[in-house]
């Protein structure tokens, strides 16, 4: 039956604005190849999982650039063009926030937006080589160092990215620069990866793609399985991708951003050093602490030392001992084997993370140079152009995560999503409010559930992250101590969003806006410590290699004593991001992965629904439903409910048909939650409009008079109209809520019966 229903490009125009309606609309459109749909100002992009070249390209951008949004089908270019137009028209900066779960298509969507903005900005520029273009060209480099194969996506970005493109409105929106910022690289992947996932692409590219001369210089073995960090998984190649080709691709991207051959070699030698570090093994020296184990361990130590530009002995010492300050001066105490392994992994992670940051800086410098053509370099900030230039920010950030076991990375990712959700709610709420005000409908009683409570639990004073940082200052603190601290803290345990879990002792739960997540404190303390061990800092800072010297340049004295943790860095970066976003007009793109396996054309309803809920689309719908959930053009309303009218509606034949009308004054029935948009397209004759309005007034008066049709009951009857009920039933069947589906079916039959009765009664009148 729903086959005969029309799908809508903008879901806020759905007469049945509820979960079933939204899901049915998306599914029907996706099956027809319409991957984009609006929900008001939000764009929903359902991943096609197949190339759709006809949807993209310069010609398509030009169409969207020159047409109003309603005239063309929904598209990611329409969102980019709207941001560009608003920026020029309002003289205000814009932000496009792309979110969704892993594999939903965020990075691809962000690339399409960047290409579109670059095209729009280049229209007014004499040169097509803009800073934004340089950022697009650097994508393969960021992907090589920051992307990896995960269970859910073969090319998953393991970091968040915020790209700003600057335009000069006075020059018609010419691109004047760009900058990229990255967030929270998943550095633990360097040392820990499980089948069938892989570590960062660059490791495999290097092992299989380096030239014979470089292989010898970097002491690379034949197979990735010879490196302990990579051998933890047996996946070394990706379907449809060649490590050797990708290696050359990455090197070309390095050349594009202006890295000399020498600099490229230094970067790749450092990557090789990280792998060699992982092959250093330790053994206990007769209870005296850890020493490097055997000949293979020694070879790895020498290779790592050579590539890091230090001597093997000081490196071994930095990994196996710790300096303790005593009144008599510093003394070196030996580490246990496990502590030495931790020290080694910590060095590997910090070297890789700093190398990644350095590359991001190099990209920003290249972007400045590409724009200014100075060749002088613009520093790591990406050089914001002078004040009158406006920016469009593009955020491509990891979506909400919930696995069987969730670690500190998930806590940070989910905090980020909570913050973005808060921003989203506030925006959607404001947008909805403006709509009601425009149509003169009472708004005062509508409220929305904000996520202040859960934010307070995560990042508030003495919340989960504060307590974690506090305990990190005690070197001997354990995961159990942290769990105990959480349970015994009044601020945490009294928060209704916190769940105490008894087994295992390290588990606790958080009720997020997108569902509950169980976290394990097992690795929290270790992962949260972000400081570089003083011995490592001092050793690598004295490296013979200029790149390593730069990566480990001595910190300013004040910073040395400042406590650094992953959670405090996450909160600081988030605060900066939110403050930047608060200055900009937001546009949202919600990417949906329609099935877990990435099969083209398959729409798994429960799986997609979960993402619609997590991505806040349902929250937007809920906010809409909190007000007037039932929206339909006035003519369509009359067509359905004229039977409720006690007197015959005189001008039946004058009533416009559905689809003929689309805008005009509206009516609402007190708190009946019925939102009538009385409609009158300019093309309609006044006479017909007058007749329609007269009919509406009669029905309204009737509904007001008769207790039976007032308030919730009237709303209920209207919600179970024939069309809505059919879709709702389909949806419930899909989700296997059999009993509820049958009940709805009954309600629908009841409605049909009532309709017959009313028709019969009308005949008597
Ligand atoms: N518009 C599109 N057209 C065709 N294929 C697409 C499109 N968007 C996404 N895909 C496909 O989906 C895959 C996953 O997309 P993408 O890497 O952008 O996901 P993501 O949301 O960024 O994931 P992650 O968070 O793991 O980085 C792509 O490799 C591509 O095959």
pLDDT tens by residue, 385-427: 555 589 999 999 888 888 888 999 999 999 999 999 888 888 8
Q: How confident is the model at residue 45 (pLDDT cuts 50, 70, 90)?
A: very high
Q: How far apart are CA 642 and CA 688, in angstroms?
A: 16
Binding residues, by number, are 100-107
C-alpha of residue 275 to centroid of ligand 1, in Å: 29
Q: Closest residue (by CA) to atom 6 of ligand 1?
A: 49
pTM: 0.80
Q: How confident is the model at residue 285 (pLDDT cuts 50, 70, 90)?
A: confident
Tell me: pLDDT of 698 over 70: no
Residue 677 confidence (pLDDT) = 33
Listed ranges 90-94, 297-301, 383-387, 660-664; the one with the highest mean pLDDT: 297-301
Tell me: pLDDT of 13 over 70: no
C-alpha of residue 76 to centroid of ligand 1, in Å: 14
Tell me: pLDDT of 479 over 80: yes
Residue 662 confidence (pLDDT) = 36
**Which one, of 239, 408, 271, lies nearest residue 351 by Cα?**
271
| DSSP string computed for 617-669 | HHHHHHHHHHHH-EEEEHHHHHHHHGGG-SSPPTTGGGSPPTTS------EE-
Q: How far apart are CA 312 and CA 650, in angstroms?
A: 97
C-alpha of residue 397 to centroid of ligand 1, in Å: 13
Residue 739 confidence (pLDDT) = 46
C-alpha of residue 720 to centroid of ligand 1, in Å: 38
Residue 661 confidence (pLDDT) = 34
Tell me: pLDDT of 149 over 70: yes
- Within 8 A by CB and 6+ apart from 239, the residues are 154
Tell me: pLDDT of 561 over 60: no
In which residue are the tokens 């990417």 written?
591
**For the chain, what is the mean pLDDT?**
79
Tell me: pLDDT of 514 over 50: yes
Q: Please, which residues bridge with residue 194 across strands?
A: none
Tell me which of 98, 101, 150, 153 to substitute to probe ligand 1's pocket, judged by most ligand atoms within 8 Å of the beta carbon.
153
Q: How confident is the model at residue 121 (pLDDT cuts 50, 70, 90)?
A: confident
Q: Are 423 and 578 in contact (CB under 8 A)?
A: yes
What is the pLDDT averaged over residues 215-232? 96
Residue 330 confidence (pLDDT) = 76
Residue bearing the bigger pLDDT, 605 or 716 = 605
C-alpha of residue 707 to centroid of ligand 1, in Å: 54
Tell me which of 107, 146, 599 to substitute to probe ligand 1's pocket, judged by most ligand atoms within 8 Å of the beta carbon.
107
Q: How confident is the model at residue 16 (pLDDT cuts 50, 70, 90)?
A: low
**Is the backbone peptide bond immediately before 322 cis, with ω within 30 degrees of 0?**
no
The percent helix, strand, coil of the chain (3-state, each to 5) is 55, 15, 30
Tell me: pLDDT of 699 over 70: no
What is the pLDDT averaged over residues 295-308? 97
Domains of the chain: 408-529 (1.20.58.530), 627-764 (no CATH)
C-alpha of residue 209 to centroid of ligand 1, in Å: 25
Residue bearing the bigger pLDDT, 741 or 66 = 66
Helix residue ranges per DSSP H, 706-737: 711-719, 722-734
What is the pLDDT averaged over residues 547-569? 77
Half-sphere exposure of 345 (CA within 13 A, CB side): 19
Q: How far apart are CA 729 and CA 740, in angstroms?
A: 8
The dihedral built from the CA positions of residue 496, 501, 505 and 506, taken in this order, carries a sign that is negative
Tell me: pLDDT of 111 over 80: yes
C-alpha of residue 597 to centroid of ligand 1, in Å: 13
Q: How far apart are CA 431 and CA 102, in angstroms?
A: 28
Residue 20, number of CB atoms within 10 A of its CB: 23
Measured from CB, residues less than 6 Å from any atom of ligand 1 are: 47-49, 51-52, 100, 102-108, 153, 155-157, 398, 591
**Which one, of 17, 3, 202, 7, lies nearest residue 618 by Cα?**
17
Q: Closest residue (by CA) to atom 30 of ligand 1?
A: 49
Tell me: pLDDT of 761 over 50: no
Q: Closest residue (by CA) to atom 4 of ligand 1?
A: 51
Q: Please, which residues bridge with residue 621 across strands?
A: none
In which residue are the tokens 């890789």 written?
352
Q: Closest residue (by CA) to atom 28 of ligand 1?
A: 105
Residue 208 confidence (pLDDT) = 97
Tokens standing for residue 301: 């130590």
| DSSP string computed for 270-305 | HHHHHHHHHT--EEE-TTS-EEE-HHHHHHHHHHHH
Residue 575 confidence (pLDDT) = 94
Half-sphere exposure of 235 (CA within 13 A, CB side): 17
C-alpha of residue 594 to centroid of ligand 1, in Å: 12
**Index of the ligand 1 atom closest to the CA of residue 76:** 1
DSSP state of 16: B
Q: How far apart are CA 649 and CA 634, in angstroms?
A: 14
Q: How far apart are CA 216 and CA 303, in angstroms?
A: 11
Q: How confident is the model at residue 61 (pLDDT cuts 50, 70, 90)?
A: very high
DSSP state of 473: T
Task: Say whether 501 sits in a helix, a strand or coil.
Answer: coil
Binding residues for ATP, by number, are 100-107
Residue 39 confidence (pLDDT) = 83
Residue bearing the bigger pLDDT, 357 or 752 = 357
C-alpha of residue 232 to centroid of ligand 1, in Å: 26
Strand 585-592 relative to strand 630-633, pairing: unpaired
Residue 249 confidence (pLDDT) = 95
DSSP state of 602: -
**Index of the ligand 1 atom closest to the CA of residue 399:** 25
Q: How confident is the model at residue 632 (pLDDT cuts 50, 70, 90)?
A: low
Asked if ipTM goes beyond 0.95, one says yes
C-alpha of residue 12 to centroid of ligand 1, in Å: 26
**Index of the ligand 1 atom closest to the CA of residue 152:** 26
**Index of the ligand 1 atom closest to the CA of residue 104:** 21
Q: Are 425 and 623 in contact (CB under 8 A)?
A: yes
Residue 437 confidence (pLDDT) = 72
Tell me which of 108, 140, 142, 198 to substitute to probe ligand 1's pocket, judged by most ligand atoms within 8 Å of the beta carbon.
108
Residue 439 confidence (pLDDT) = 60
**Index of the ligand 1 atom closest to the CA of residue 398:** 25
C-alpha of residue 354 to centroid of ligand 1, in Å: 27
- The 10s digit of each residue's pLDDT in 157-177 is 999 999 999 998 888 888 888
What is the pLDDT averaged over residues 330-344? 91
Tell me which of 33, 35, 47 to substitute to probe ligand 1's pocket, judged by most ligand atoms within 8 Å of the beta carbon.
47
CA 127 and chain centroid, separation? 33
Residue 450 confidence (pLDDT) = 76
Q: How far apart are CA 404 and CA 519, in angstroms?
A: 9
Residue 456 confidence (pLDDT) = 96
Q: How far apart are CA 180 and CA 142, in angstroms?
A: 11
Active-site residues, by number, are: 102-103, 107, 153, 156-157, 399, 401
- The 10s digit of each residue's pLDDT in 308-321 is 999 999 999 999 99
Tell me: pLDDT of 3 over 50: no
Tell me which of 155, 189, 416 to substitute to probe ligand 1's pocket, judged by most ligand atoms within 8 Å of the beta carbon.
155
Among the ranges given (333-337, 518-522, 596-600, 660-664), the one the predictor scored with the smallest mean pLDDT = 660-664
Sheet of 160-168: strands edge to edge?
36-39, 42-46, 585-592, 94-100, 390-396, 160-168, 174-183
In which residue are the tokens 């939000």 written?
42
What is the pLDDT averaged over residues 658-680? 33
Q: Are 254 and 362 in contact (CB under 8 A)?
A: no
Tell me: pLDDT of 599 over 60: yes
Strand 515-520 relative to strand 674-677, pairing: unpaired
């Amino acid at each position: 039956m729903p086959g005969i229903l029309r799908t809508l490009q903008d879901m806020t125009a759905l007469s049945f604005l509820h979960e079933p309606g939204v899901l049915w609309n998306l599914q029907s459109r996706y099956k027809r190849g319409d991957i984009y749909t609006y929900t008001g100002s939000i764009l929903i992009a359902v991943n096609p999982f197949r190339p759709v070249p006809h949807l993209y390209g310069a010609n398509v951008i030009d169409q969207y650039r020159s047409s109003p949004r309603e005239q063309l089908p929904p598209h990611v270019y329409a969102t980019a063009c709207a941001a560009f137009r608003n920026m020029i028209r309002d003289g205000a900066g814009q932000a496009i926030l792309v979110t969704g779960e892993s594999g939903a298509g965020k990075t691809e969507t962000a690339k399409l937006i960047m290409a579109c903005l670059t095209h729009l900005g280049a229209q007014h520029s004499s040169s097509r080589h803009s800073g934004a273009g340089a950022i697009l060209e650097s994508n393969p480099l960021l992907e090589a160092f920051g992307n990896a194969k995960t269970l859910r996506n073969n090319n998953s970005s393991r970091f968040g990215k915020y790209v700003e493109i600057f335009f000069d409105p006075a020059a018609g929106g010419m691109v004047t620069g760009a900058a990229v910022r990255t967030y929270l690289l998943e550095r633990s992947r360097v040392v820990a990866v499980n089948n069938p996932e892989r570590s960062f692409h660059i490791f495999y590219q290097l092992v299989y793609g380096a030239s014979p001369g470089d292989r010898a210089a970097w002491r690379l073995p034949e197979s990735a399985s010879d490196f302990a960090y990579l051998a933890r998984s047996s996946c070394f190649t990706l379907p449809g991708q060649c490590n050797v080709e990708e290696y050359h691709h990455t090197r070309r991207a390095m050349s594009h951003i202006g890295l000399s051959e020498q600099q490229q070699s230094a970067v790749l030698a450092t990557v090789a050093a990280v792998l060699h570090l992982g092959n250093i093994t330790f053994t206990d020296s007769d209870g005296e602490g850890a020493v490097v184990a055997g000949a293979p361990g020694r070879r790895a130590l020498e290779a790592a030392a050579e590539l890091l530009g230090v001597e093997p002995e000081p490196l071994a010492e930095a990994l196996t001992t710790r300096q303790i300050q005593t009144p008599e001066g510093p003394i070196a105490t030996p580490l246990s084997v496990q502590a030495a392994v931790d020290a080694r992994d910590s060095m590997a992670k910090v070297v890789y993370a700093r190398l990644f940051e350095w590359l991001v800086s190099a990209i920003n410098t290249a972007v400045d140079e590409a724009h200014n053509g100075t060749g002088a370099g613009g520093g790591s900030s990406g050089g914001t152009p002078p004040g009158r230039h406006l920016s469009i920010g593009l955020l491509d950030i990891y979506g909400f995560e919930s696995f069987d076991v969730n670690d500190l990375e998930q806590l940070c990712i989910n905090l980020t999503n909570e913050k973005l959700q808060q921003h989203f709610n506030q925006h959607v709420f404001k947008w909805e409010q403006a709509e009601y005000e425009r149509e003169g409908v009472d708004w005062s009683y509508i409220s929305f559930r904000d996520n202040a409570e859960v934010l307070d639990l995560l990042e508030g004073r003495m919340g989960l992250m504060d307590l974690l940082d506090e305990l990190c200052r005690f070197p001997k603190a354990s995961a159990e101590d942290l769990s105990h601290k959480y349970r015994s803290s009044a601020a945490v345990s009294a928060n209704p969003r916190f769940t105490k879990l008894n087994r295992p002792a390290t588990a606790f739960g958080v009720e997020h806006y997108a569902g509950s997540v169980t976290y394990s404190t097992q690795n929290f303390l270790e992962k949260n410590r972000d400081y570089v061990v003083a011995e490592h800092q001092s050793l690598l800072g004295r490296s013979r290699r200029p790149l390593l010297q730069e990566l480990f340049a001595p910190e300013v004295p004040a910073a040395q004593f400042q406590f650094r943790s992953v959670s405090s860095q996450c909160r600081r970066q988030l605060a900066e991001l939110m403050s930047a976003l608060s200055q900009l007009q937001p546009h949202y793109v919600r990417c949906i992965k329609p099935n877990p396996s990435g099969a083209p054309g398959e729409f798994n309803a429960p799986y997609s629904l979960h993402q619609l809920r997590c991505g806040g689309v349902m929250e937007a719908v809920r906010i809409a439903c909190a007000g007037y959930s039932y929206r339909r053009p006035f003519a369509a309303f009359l067509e359905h409910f004229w039977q409720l009218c006690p007197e015959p509606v005189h001008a039946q034949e004058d009533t416009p048909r559905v689809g003929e009308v689309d805008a005009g004054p509206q009516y609402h029935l007190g708190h009946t939650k019925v939102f009538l948009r009385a409609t009158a397209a300019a093309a309609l004759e006044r006479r017909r409009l007058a007749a329609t309005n007269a009919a509406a007034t009669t029905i309204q008066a009737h509904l007001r008079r008769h207790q039976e049709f007032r308030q919730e009951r009237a709303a209920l009857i209207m919600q179970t109209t024939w069309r809505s009920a059919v879709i709702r039933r389909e949806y419930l069947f899909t989700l296997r809520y059999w009993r509820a589906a049958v009940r709805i079916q009954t309600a629908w039959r009841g409605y049909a019966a009532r309709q017959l009765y009313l028709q019969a009664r009308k005949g008597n009148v």
